[in-house]
Amino acid sequence: DSKPEYSTFSWIAMLFSAGMGIGLVFYGAAEPLSLYAVTAPEATLYSQQAMLDALKYSFFHYGISAWSVYGMVALAIAYFKYRKKEVPNISSTLKPIFGKLTEGKLGNVVDALTIFATVVGVATSLGLGAVQINSGLNYIFGVIQSINVQIIIIVIATVLFLTSAMSGINKGVKILSDTNIALAVLLMIVAIAIGPSLDIANFFIEGIGAYMNDFIRLSFRTAASGTLAQQEWVQAWTVYYWAWWISWSPFVGVFIANISKGRTIREFLTYILLVPSVFSFVWFSVFGTLAMNIATPTNPVIHMSIDQMLFGVFSQYPLALALSIIAIILVFIY
């Protein structure tokens, strides 16, 4: 009978901030461009099929499969926290199986592994963010790319995070999340306005169709019967993403559980699985199409490192500086 503590908009905004906002900005243009022009998973480079595959795999990596990991962990923690009045940690969710053993050494081991996995997930996100911010500052303002600069960026981001966390979810985290989702939508709207809007719409529709049609096959694809290059591709992309999402899930699960009081299970699962997934599909359609639209074998953008590709793509369109600055702010807040 509890009422939600946050508006639906703020709740969804916080889901993104905790979930995969950094990944969307980092890979939004880079992943489709790479899969289209650098290392196509199945089709010939620069072909129409490669373009469709690039979006299909991007949707797959950031779609329902990823959010189901977060949703499963978050739902279990939320249930035991609000219905069973248990401590909101992973070990509490194992009580129906192991009983009081979860209150002893077994529970400590589970929670220790959870902390380790969370550290790995946080380190990945912080590392990607610092590298991309550094690349953006280098591309726009000529700031040197170095480990020292990236450490400074991480320190500043950590201080901002701690300040936000100490001010509480209702103030710092909520305000930053609302700001971020507004900036993300603004960035997409501007990108659609300056880009090939009809192509974006067409590939969004076709990409969803290809994703739904191949979902089962992609979910079980290991490329075991394929070439060594195909097997390495699966490891470098799909397995990498699954490891990232799983390692990040304890932190995200606890956070989502804490902000979801008053939500029904149906509402909880519907919003967590569908809304972020559809937003991700639109995001990759916009920035992926923007990137693939300028991809040619002679365009230097395709030879850039992944952390620079977004800024390289923006440089090919009007309002490049404004778009790049918004992207840097997004990465910093995420």
Q: Which is more confidently placed, 2 or 186?
A: 186
Look up residue 290 and give its two tokens. 């923007």
Q: Are 13 and 181 in contact (CB under 8 A)?
A: yes
Query: What's the structural domain count of the chain?
Result: 1
As a whole number of angstroms, the distance between CA 317 and CA 136 comes to 16
Residues 7-21: what's their mean pLDDT? 81
Q: Residue 19: what pLDDT?
A: 64
Q: Which domain holds residue 227?
A: 8-333
- Residue by residue, DSSP assigns 15-80 as HHHHHTHHHHHHHTTHHHHHHHHT--SSS-TTSHHHHHHHHHHHHHHHSHHHHHHHHHHHHHHHHH
For residues 309 and 254, give the distance between their C-alpha atoms in angstroms, rounded to a whole number: 33
Residue 3 placed within a domain: no
Residues 20-50 pLDDT 10s: 777 888 889 999 999 999 988 888 999 999 9
On whether residue 125 sits in a domain, the answer given is yes
Q: Once rounded to an integer, what is the mean pLDDT over residues 197-224?
A: 95
More confidently predicted of 197 and 43: 197
pLDDT per residue over 237-294, tens digit each?
Answer: 999 999 888 888 888 888 888 888 888 889 888 999 999 999 999 999 999 999 999 9
Share of the chain above pLDDT 70, in %: 98
- pLDDT, residue 1, reads 61
pLDDT at 116: 86
Give CA–CA dist 116/94, Å, rounded.
18
Phi, psi of 252 (to 5 degrees): -65, -40
Residue 175 has pLDDT above 90, yes or no: no
Query: Is 294 a member of any domain?
Result: yes
Task: Specify if 321 maps to a domain.
Answer: yes
DSSP secondary structure string for all residues of 311-334 = HHHHTTSTTHHHHHHHHHHHHHH-
Residue-level pLDDT at 284: 97
Residue 1 falls inside a structural domain? no
pLDDT for 170 beyond 80 = no
**What pLDDT is attached to residue 102?**
85
pLDDT tens-digit readout, 82-136: 888 888 888 888 888 888 888 888 989 988 988 888 787 777 778 888 888 898 8
Q: Confidence band (pLDDT; 50, 70, 90) for 232?
A: very high
Q: Is residue 87 part of a domain?
A: yes
Q: What is the mean pLDDT of the chain?
A: 89
Does a structural domain hold residue 302? yes
CB within 8 Å of 265: residues ≥ 6 apart: 75
Phi, psi (rounded to 5 degrees) for 228: -60, -40
The residue that leads in pLDDT, 116 or 196, is 196
Evaluate whether residue 2 is within a structural domain: no
**CA dihedral of residues 32, 26, 247, 16 (deg, nearest 10):** -100
